A and B are shown apart, each in its own frame.
Chain A
Amino acid sequence: MRPGPLPALFTSLVVVACANTIDVREPFPDPVIESLPLRVGVHYTTEFANYSYTDAQTGAGSWTLRLGGANVSVFDRVFVRLFTATSRVAAVPTGSSSDVDFDAFVEPVVTNVEFSLPLQSHTDQYAVWLRYKLNVYDRTGQLLHEWPVSAYGQSEDRGLSGARSMTRAVVLALRDAEATIATQFAQEPKIREALLHPKEIAHAGAQ
């Protein structure tokens, strides 16, 4: 006996009801920081700009975090304030020819995404971990540093829909990434040594 249309309809409704997609469209704030004296070319790979993470084995349906648009928005915000001048570039240069327009190039990469639901953590919290790697290149395209940036956000289940609480946790994790880059970039020893010390010495020499 062939199953009628009703069971199929019920199954598809359950599948739709249990598929959660988080697409962050919230604007991110401009950091209140002093700019570093650097002209930087910013390269976003297609993978980074369209990044999406899906976990179907949560025990509470399938969850997809579409992070690409938010990634670009967050990194644009922080780079514009962190450096005196920024421009998007189609690619990081290769070879020995130096690009006179830039002091350095940066290229963020998503290395890992994790989340936990209240059902999994036995708390009332939705939690999100984002891990990035910020590749920093000199003006010739030589890799200077691969800086790991970890970010975390959590949001309580306040009787909102699970998707709204998860969205809040993702937004907080993205803000954490932005805050970490804004406050820590200039503190990274390799970046200081390769990019900022020469500028400071040149500035002191000019005075």
Chain B
Amino acid sequence: MPARSERTRLVLTKALAACVSAALASSCMTSRLEEAKNAATGIRADEAVVILATSYHRNKPTEGGFVDCIADRVQRGSRHVKVYSDNQFRDALFPWFEPRTMPQTPESLPELLARPGITERIESRGIRYVVWLNGTTERTGGGGSLACAIGPGGGGCFGFGWWEDQARYQAAVWDLRQKAAAGTVSADVHGTSMIPALVIPLPLIARTQTAACKGLATKLQQFITESGPPT
């Protein structure tokens, strides 16, 4: 009997693990990736991009974690692109890329690049593109009811809770060599997360920001490395 009970527990544990994995893998998300290309792009192996968040004086600040995620992912894979550190870039070109002074439109690039020392500093670092990230992940809805209790005999949760997140980000690519905007890439991911609980809560989390990061980074690599015609 003890052997059979042990086997049953093992089977139940495996089934539960399989259920959780399947549920997590099929999180409820929809995503849309778009690009608009104004000019032909392309990048040499010795050239780099710098990825900056737009000014917090202008927009709601993009999460620092998202900027880091994009910078990390753009450097990976077969279409990897070299990324120059945003902090080193700001220091090297101080005070022209601070939140108050950073260029707001690509039309202001020629004037900025004409300032003494600016073009030399950009060229000596091999920086070809500036990628401006804008956007955030917002909670757009939620509901349900979930209650947990614990007592001397044990504990458990009952109920159902859910929430929706919307991750909307845009990357504007400026070509420093052409002194003009090359285009934009955007990601819009909507996800619903839920926690059904019958004694044990089973969280089914939609990782909308991570999905937006993966999608936007891949699209950005494609946008920069493929020297195709404007769309």
Contacts and interface: CB of A to CB of B under 8 A. Distances in A.
Measured as residues with beta carbon below 8 angstroms from the partner, the interface class of chain A is 10 to 19
B188 to A, nearest CB: 22
Contact of B94 (A30, A34, A125): A30
Interface in B37-93: 56-57, 61, 63-65, 90-93
Interface of B: 56-57, 61, 63-65, 90-96, 98-101, 115-118, 121
Contacts of A175: 94-95, 98
B98 A31 contact: no
Contact of B64 (A31, A152, A156): A156
Contacts of A156: 61, 63-64
Nearest to A153: B99
Contact of B100 (A31, A125, A176): A176
7 contacts: A32-B118, A154-B61, A156-B64, A175-B94, A175-B95, A176-B98, A179-B98
Interface of A: 29-34, 125, 152, 154, 156, 158, 172, 175-176, 178-180, 182-183
Contact of B117 (A32, A158, A180): A32
Contacts of A179: 94-95, 98, 100-101
Contact of A182 (B63, B64, B95, B117): B95
Given A176-B100, A183-B101, 7 more contacts: A29-B90, A30-B94, A32-B93, A125-B61, A154-B61, A175-B98, A179-B95
Nearest to A180: B100
B61 A158 contact: no
A176 B100 CA distance: 7
